[in-house]
Structure formats: structure tokens, C-alpha cells
Amino acid sequence: NAGVTQTPKFRILKIGQSMTLQCTQDMNHNYMYWYRQDPGMGLKLIYYSVGAGITDKGEVPNGYNVSRSTTEDFPLRLELAAPSQTSVYFCASSEHEGRREKLFFGSGTQLSVL
Amino acid sequence: DQQVKQNSPSLSVQEGRISILNCDYTNSMFDYFLWYKKYPAEGPTFLISISSIKDKNEDGRFTVFLNKSAKHLSLHIVPSQPGDSAVYFCAASPILEYGNKLVFGAGTILRVKS
């Protein structure tokens, strides 16, 4: 019963490098989300998707890109890494659209940009 | 501008006693609230929720209370157990928002001492 799987768990990037954070879910959920959590702050929504081929910006989308070619996968791309992107990143999914829908989270990716 | 505030970064409680975690919000447009629990190296997991039409919701040892006039909610854990030691996030959902755009608090670290 894997749920939401994120890779890698840890990564150190140099300024200007690029990388993709992988996220896959096996619950056949249509809705997927990327959050970041900075120290002392709540989780902030970066991007979300309501189904394959459909994505939209969240609260803090600058510096990131996403794609959703399949129901299962929702990768997050950092093109030119900056120190401000040092954070813990969580991918999540939900069965239905809705403000009251509980989210299922992955275990997170801790990213440091130096 | 934190719309959801968890003013206590940490809380320490003796096993068997009550744990009370607090959450304040500023936006009167929030009408649904959720609590998530997070263990180290894991993603948050849904714990309990409450709609603004209620002032209390109970699930086993966990009870959430909502005081709309004070824009305050609290999570009570009775009795507290060492396995409850985790970070607890309060989240709020606004009305008339498309998608699941939750606003999270920064979290409270609960330590239950045996």
C-alpha cells in the first residue's frame, strides 16, 4: 500500500542547477499538489493539478514548473535553483476536488541549494 | 501575513494527561478546518476536521473545538500517549475557493513524556 511516493528524499544543489522532484501515487486520485515548508512556516501550495493534462498555480509558483501527463505522476521541476528554494517539499493527492477533502502526503524531499 | 497561526511552537505533556493545541485564524471566510499530524521523516497525515456549522467534533481520543466568534480552534487529546508525540498542523479552507487551497499554520511540536 504505497500511497504517495516522493524521490529523492534528500538533495543538495548548487545555485543555478536544475532538478526534478518526482511524485507518484497509486490511489488513482485525480487531484495532486505540491507544497513547500520553510522553517517556522506552514505548508504553502506551489502548484496543483485536477487531472492529467491540467495544472494550475498555487500561492508560490515562481521558479517552478510542473507537468501532469498521467494520473499517477506529478513531477516538480526547478530550472535555476536559488538559495530561496531551500525547503522541504511535499507532494499530496486527494480523491475528489473540494475544500473539505483530506490530502494524502508523501514523505517529503529535503532540498538544500548552496 | 499568516492567516492561520499556531502561536505555541512546542508543548510538553505528561502521559495520560490532556494535550491542548491551539490555532487562531484571521480570515472570516474560512469555513472548514482540519488537523494533520506529522512524524519525523514522514508526510503529514489527516487527523480530524470540523465544519463551521459545528462547534465540536470528536473522534476517539481526539476532539476539535471551534469558537467562530473568537476565530479560534483547539485540538484536545485525552489521554495523551507517547505515540502522539509529533508535529500538529492546523489548516483552514476558505469558502468560494476553487480547488483545495488549504492555508496551513506553522505547526506545534507535541512531546508526550512517559
Mutate: best of B100, B104, B109, partner A, most A CBs <10 A = B100
Is B43 close to A92, i.e. CB distance below 8 A? yes
- Give the pLDDT of residue B99: 47
For residue B100, the chain A residue with the least C-alpha distance is A99
For residue A45, the chain B residue with the least C-alpha distance is B101
For the CA atoms of B74, B37, A49, A70, the dihedral, rounded to the nearest 10 degrees, stands at -160
Q: Give the residues across from B46 on adjacent strands.
A: B36
For residue B41, the chain A residue with the least C-alpha distance is A107
pLDDT tens for chain B, residues 1 to 114: 678 999 999 999 999 999 999 999 998 888 899 999 999 989 999 999 999 999 999 999 999 999 999 999 999 999 999 999 999 999 998 876 544 578 899 999 999 999
B50–A contact, CB cutoff 8 A: no
- Give the pLDDT of residue A96: 76
pLDDT tens, residue by residue, A45-94: 999 999 999 999 998 999 999 999 999 999 999 999 999 999 999 999 99
Query: What SS3 class is residue B84?
Result: helix
Over residues A15-40, mean pLDDT: 94
Is A42 close to B100, i.e. CB distance below 8 A? no
**CA pair distance B35, A95, nearest whole angstrom:** 18
Q: How distant is the Cα of B99 from the closest Cα of chain A, in angstroms?
A: 6
Handedness of CA A104, B73, B94, B107 (dihedral sign): negative
Is A90 close to B4, i.e. CB distance below 8 A? no
B52–A contact, CB cutoff 8 A: no
Are A69 and A62 within 8 A, CB to CB? no
Contacts of B3 (CB under 8 A, 6+ apart): B25, B26, B27, B30, B92, B103
Contacts of B112 (CB under 8 A, 6+ apart): B12, B13, B14, B15, B19, B80, B81, B82, B83, B84, B85
